[in-house]
Structure 1
């Protein structure tokens, strides 16, 4: 209970710090001039987006035999969103955070849970690419060269990141090579922590990689899971765009 209250207090402090950083007077001015009808609709869209995200991820988790209640998955998603919002890059820590919430106290499912997170992020690329192509066509018709350049660069970066992620996910040799380098770095940074337990930790990581690869391959072959989660993804991005639309109304 004390730990939970501490986390709530930390969250409140972070929110207050963000308001102070943005400007208290400016924030109050914006709140006063807000159209509450559109704000309510934006909040509703955000709630739908979070629930849809939790439902989509739970499909992956169930397929990977990681049985969790919807409420637990929903909490994990909310924790991930919070961490994303306070870390650089908006995606830096949210994925490990929600993976930790679901896997906490269950070491044997870390690899499978990580695979579901990876599948969740990879699937997001499909609606992103669809909407990017729509925006690209719109910018092409209007001959807006700056937007065309930005869309082209962002698409190439997305494809590059996706390609590298898939390469390391499905190639066991590359994954183990990356693991070896990571462990070497950790041993240099924390030599006392690894003293006497190096082999045990290495075996644990290797077992996690094997579980991760097997789960990700199984998920990629299941057509029912693919189409169900794709539907959730498309709906998720539609409500997120509606949320943005209502915010700027």
Structure 2
């Protein structure tokens, strides 16, 4: 192990792990307060009386979701000239998902970290890895907008949009429209943005040997070239987009399975609104939005359906077990395997 890698691991041990543990601790307190407010004994009774077969269905759906998104990842990487066996790459994707899910603020922009994991585990450069990861995430916005829009339209048609969730609905619209617009504007004016970034980095480069303007300029040029290579193959991007849609379907279905597990039912159109809306809570600075996502899910289910608060809380917890905890367990195993094979 080189001194550089050792220093990196030491940083992870002392700071990142501490932040992760603190984030999980805060999330546990929030979840405890939520369950205590609703009724601990009642929620526990609903959970223990659940049909665990439906929870298994939810876990399987999460696995299929990650596999589909991993396939979309492989297609985008192949456009960038990085050809990896899917059996190998899907393990890397699970490991990267684990890293993203345990890192505070990972849900609010974990692409650089995921690109680092990918570049270390494949022959891809960091610039190609980052371009492919960002492209895959942008492709995932299309099904996000589609499913959220269909569910939102269904709610408006049925006049079932309570005032309590109007801010969430507004945030969903802003996010689904704003991110593609920002990405498009940023790409259109990439030259001025590059000059601005180099200008901001100049004072830092004058004070340290760790950063040089020539090196940063070269990295930005390589990243731009990687995006251009990916953008030229539109057929491959459409194919990747189809897998993104499939992944989003399997990403949302665990909520339906969680409701069935406690003897309740949530219409699929509503599922496809609630799940994207709850992802806004994933922007909070806790691992995977833990605590905030459960509270938001419980509120949305209670507000938009006839399900009582106890049932809504149980559904939110079971959904997170199937979609988040399961992904952590499987992704953690994949991360250990990736470390071992490297």
Q: TM-score, normalised by structure 2?
A: 0.58
Tell me how far 1:186 sits from its aligned partner: 4.8
For the aligned residues, what is the CA RMSD?
Answer: 3.7
Q: Report the Cα distance in structure 2 between the residues aligned to 1:106 and 1:41, rounded to whole angstroms.
A: 32
Closer, same or farther: CA 59–105 of 1 in aligned 2, 3 Å: closer
Greater relative CO, 1 or 2 (CA 8 Å, sep 6+): 2
Where does the alignment leave 5 or more consecutive residues of structure 2 unmatched? 2-8, 261-342
Where does the alignment leave 5 or more consecutive residues of structure 1 unmatched? none
Tell me how far 1:231 sits from its aligned partner: 0.9
Partner of 2:337: none
Partner of 2:113: 97
Aligned partner (choices 105, 112, 116) of residue 132 of structure 2: 116
Tell me how far 1:212 sits from its aligned partner: 2.0
Between 1:134-143 and 1:39-48, the stretch displaced more is: 134-143
8 Å contact from structure 1 (residues 38, 247) kept in 2: yes
Tell me how far 1:108 sits from its aligned partner: 7.5
Partner of 2:70: 54
The number of residues matched between the two structures is 237
Closer, same or farther: CA 78–97 of 1 in aligned 2, 3 Å: farther
Closer, same or farther: CA 205–169 of 1 in aligned 2, 3 Å: farther
- For residues 9-48 of structure 1, the aligned pairs below 5 Å read 21=29, 22-23=31-32, 29=44, 32-48=48-64
Between 1:48-57 and 1:27-36, the stretch displaced more is: 27-36
Q: Report the Cα distance in structure 2 between the residues aligned to 1:71 and 1:98, rounded to whole angstroms.
A: 18
Aligned partner (choices 226, 240, 251) of residue 229 of structure 1: 240
Closer, same or farther: CA 109–170 of 1 in aligned 2, 3 Å: farther
SS of the aligned residue for 2:125 comes to: helix
Encode CA deviations 1:139-178: one digit per residue, 9 max, x unaligned: 2112234356633442123322222223223433233134
Closer, same or farther: CA 178–244 of 1 in aligned 2, 3 Å: farther
Closer, same or farther: CA 33–182 of 1 in aligned 2, 3 Å: farther
Whether 1:218 and 2:234 are equivalent positions in the alignment is no
Aligned partner (choices 94, 117, 127) of residue 143 of structure 2: 127
Q: Report the Cα distance in structure 2 between the residues aligned to 1:80 and 1:106, rounded to whole angstroms.
A: 12
Between 1:218-227 and 1:53-62, the stretch displaced more is: 218-227
Closer, same or farther: CA 226–108 of 1 in aligned 2, 3 Å: closer
Between 1:235-244 and 1:142-151, the stretch displaced more is: 142-151
Q: TM-score, normalised by structure 1?
A: 0.77
8 Å contact from structure 1 (residues 168, 174) kept in 2: no
Tell me how far 1:46 sits from its aligned partner: 0.6
Q: Report the Cα distance in structure 2 between the residues aligned to 1:16 and 1:149, rounded to whole angstroms.
A: 26
8 Å contact from structure 1 (residues 57, 116) kept in 2: yes
Q: Report the Cα distance in structure 2 between the residues aligned to 1:49 and 1:108, rounded to whole angstroms.
A: 24
